[in-house]
Structure 1
Amino acid sequence: MLKSFSIFSLSFLYLGFLFAQDTTVVEVQESIQDSTSVLLIEQEQVNYPGKPLIMSLVLPGAGQYYNKSPMWKTASFLGVELGSIIAWNYFFKESQRLKEDYKAFADLHWTLNDWVTNRFEPPTQMHESMSWTNFTALTKLTGTHDLSLIISGDLANELNLTQVSSDSLDIHPGWIQSGDVVVVRDGHFYENIGKYDQFLGGWSDAKDAWYWEEKDVGDSTEIIIKTPLKENYINQRYESNQMLSAVKYSITVLMFNHVISGIESVWTNQRKASDDQKLEKTSSIDTKLSLVYNPSNPGGIGGLRFALYF
């Protein structure tokens, strides 16, 4: 509220016109015979909406605290921030744990030797009147995808090679018997053995427990070939991927919390500034008359104080 404060004493008159949002009190001691006065001076305070914005972008809720908003707003943004960080940390650790679990499972139950053996010595078990050889993907090692192989020892010296594609085994299956060929177990490997039928033969239960089933893919039906171990592996990978999705959601919530807190802090800041301006324009005029104390006078009265507020 704009204020103007003037002080009248028996021997001296002060008149001050004050225009600002906040007031600063300055004591003025006058060496006058019989009066001591206090003058209120208002200084203009500039409103900076960018300050709560930056504060909220750095720490959600800080801008709301700066604006002196209800505490539930500050607590809400801080709560979402803390919850998102805790969720991100939990889901990330779980995804990594599950990832290590399904990798260990695959390392134990999928081998290059089984894959090559089942290719050239197909299982005799049939499933629903269909045999292993009825599926093209199971009768060859080549296909739409491949695995990386590392060659070492005498075989590497003989071939003058250290790395080849798994497609080579369809022509040279005997390389497996040398013991000098190992598969590269990278992300590419762990995806392929669970996703594509051509690698089904590498699972240790493929010879006795393989089966096929139909899968509805919308406008058509797809035949999926599995084994119990492969099904288990697929489920483990799915759980790990679900945790990774939760990590992404947590990060998204974290980012939006910063942005929304920043936008809300600026909006509240500007609304309060607008309300203050309206209040200043519609304020009424008040007056106040009181005595000024002066210890130098016998009666303690040093003058009259007249205040005008508008």
Structure 2
Amino acid sequence: MKNLVLILVISALFTGVNFAQLKSDLAGNIIKVEDLPAERDLSINDFSFQQSSNGFINAQQTVPGVAFLSSAILPGSAQAANGKWARAGVYLAVEAFSIFYYINRNNVAKDQERAYEAFTHQEWSVVAYSQWLIGYYDNNGLSHDKLDQLRTMVGGLDPDFSDTRNDWNRVNINLLQEIERETDLVCGTCGSGDFSHVLPAYGSQQYYELISKYYQFEGGWSDFYAENVAVNNPNYNYLYDNKGDLASPLFLLGAERADRFNNNYRRAGNILNLLVINHVVSAFDALFSVKLKNAQVQASANMMRPDSFSLTLHF
């Protein structure tokens, strides 16, 4: 009798230990076993999915809006949280490349722009251009009531091609612009009208752009000035060069250098479009991925009806 009681006690203890171990094994992140009242049977409602202990990662995995915002801010982040490593890697790689390329092209463009500006400070002078404009008036029989003021201002001056920024203080830009606005076009095929542009404010972005873009300003370049204006070249007729037939090598070089840094600025701007696209695509990819996963989980849960659910426990 004592042996029987001892066997029953040992069996009860062994069964209790194994059931406790089973509860421990099942009580992870996937299934939870609840203590049940003795008066009812085990059902599917006693088992539930347990969320990750990390609230933000769990939200990226289960809440479409959070996944959307996460990948919109950092492309690939929600994909990584959901274990989509290949897609996360693609989005992050595109992001890293785009940022690097933008910074690189922008820095290159700035360096080229500064070099171009330094180039113009040695090769284009507003004094030279003003003297060309006076010659244009004189040789084409034109008149302007302010022309003599400009003539007095620059007459007898030599352009300072060591640093043409010094010439900015020698020519009143407002006076020059007033004359330019009322200057007639005189050329073989350009028809009637006035100059299409005026010299922008000294040192402005437009100033540097226009002097190597429009043939109207070719008279300010040092090689053109030296060949035609400074020596009063009798073979130069001072007609408006609307086709660039007389554009000097320095004018063309300036145009090429300006085009070079502008192209790099455009490339940097274009890569920003890729950055935006990468953020948008990654965000919507994360949104739809989480929605699809949630729909699949819901469909699976609906299939697990209590009347078709069975659980086998092995002790």
TM over 0.5: yes
Q: How does 1:29-178 map to 2 (within 5 A)?
A: 41-42=47-48, 47-69=62-84, 71-121=85-135, 171-177=149-155
- Residues 1:252 and 2:256 are matched in the alignment: no
Any idea what the Cα deviations from partners look like across 1:64-100, whole Å, max 9, x if unmatched? 112222x110000000000010011001001101111
SS at match of 2:222: coil
User: Match of 1:203, as an amino acid?
Assistant: W
Deviation of 1:198 after TM superposition, in Å, equals 2.3
Question: How far apart, in 1, do the equivalents of 2:285 and 2:217 lie?
Answer: 54
Residues 1:59 and 1:176: Cα distance change in structure 2 (over 3 Å): same
Deviation of 1:117 after TM superposition, in Å, equals 3.0
In the comparison of the two structures, how many residue pairs are matched?
218
User: Match of 1:55, as an amino acid?
Assistant: S
Instruction: Select the residue among 269, 272, 284 that pairs with 1:263.
Output: 284
Question: How far apart, in 1, do the equivalents of 2:93 and 2:222 lie?
Answer: 49
CA RMSD of aligned residues (A): 3.8
Alignment-derived partner of residue 196 in structure 1: 214
Q: How does 1:203-218 map to 2 (within 5 A)?
A: 203-207=221-225
Is 2:72–2:279's contact at 8 Å kept on the other side of the alignment? yes
Any idea what the Cα deviations from partners look like across 1:212-234, whole Å, max 9, x if unmatched? 9xxxxxxxxx6225110000000
Residues 1:168 and 1:258: Cα distance change in structure 2 (over 3 Å): farther
Alignment-derived partner of residue 223 in structure 1: 243
Identity %, equivalent residues:
22
Any idea what the Cα deviations from partners look like across 1:9-46, whole Å, max 9, x if unmatched? 99xxxxxxxxxxx645468699x9xxxxxx97425769
Question: How far apart, in 1, do the equivalents of 2:148 and 2:288 lie?
Answer: 68
Question: How far apart, in 2, do the equivalents of 1:60 and 1:111 lie?
Answer: 50
Alignment-derived partner of residue 257 in structure 2: 236
Question: How far apart, in 2, do the equivalents of 1:113 and 1:257 lie?
Answer: 51
Is 2:32–2:49's contact at 8 Å kept on the other side of the alignment? no
Deviation of 1:280 after TM superposition, in Å, equals 2.8
Runs of at least 5 residues in structure 2 that lack an aligned partner in the other structure: 1-14, 17-28, 39-44, 52-58, 158-166, 174-201, 229-235, 237-241
Residues 1:231 and 1:285: Cα distance change in structure 2 (over 3 Å): same
Q: How does 1:2-17 map to 2 (within 5 A)?
A: none
Deviation of 1:195 after TM superposition, in Å, equals 2.2
Any idea what the Cα deviations from partners look like across 1:109-154, whole Å, max 9, x if unmatched? 01122223334457xxxxxxxxx96xx7xx9899xxxxxxxxxxxx
Normalising by the residue count of structure 2, what TM-score does the alignment of the two structures yield? Answer: 0.59
Q: Identify the structure with the greater helix proportion.
A: 2
Question: How far apart, in 2, do the equivalents of 1:231 and 1:141 lie?
Answer: 31
User: Match of 1:97, as an amino acid?
Assistant: D
Is 1:23–1:42's contact at 8 Å kept on the other side of the alignment? yes
Deviation of 1:196 after TM superposition, in Å, equals 2.3
Is 1:114–1:203's contact at 8 Å kept on the other side of the alignment? yes
Residues 1:287 and 1:186: Cα distance change in structure 2 (over 3 Å): closer
Any idea what the Cα deviations from partners look like across 1:267-287, whole Å, max 9, x if unmatched? 111111112222233456443
Moved more, 74-83 or 191-200: 191-200
Deviation of 1:262 after TM superposition, in Å, equals 0.4
Residues 1:227 and 1:54: Cα distance change in structure 2 (over 3 Å): same
Question: How far apart, in 1, do the equivalents of 2:146 and 2:47 lie?
Answer: 91
Question: How far apart, in 2, do the equivalents of 1:170 and 1:197 lie?
Answer: 24
Deviation of 1:54 after TM superposition, in Å, equals 1.1
Any idea what the Cα deviations from partners look like across 1:171-212, whole Å, max 9, x if unmatched? 4222125775156222232122112222211111114668x9
Question: How far apart, in 1, do the equivalents of 2:97 and 2:148 lie?
Answer: 53
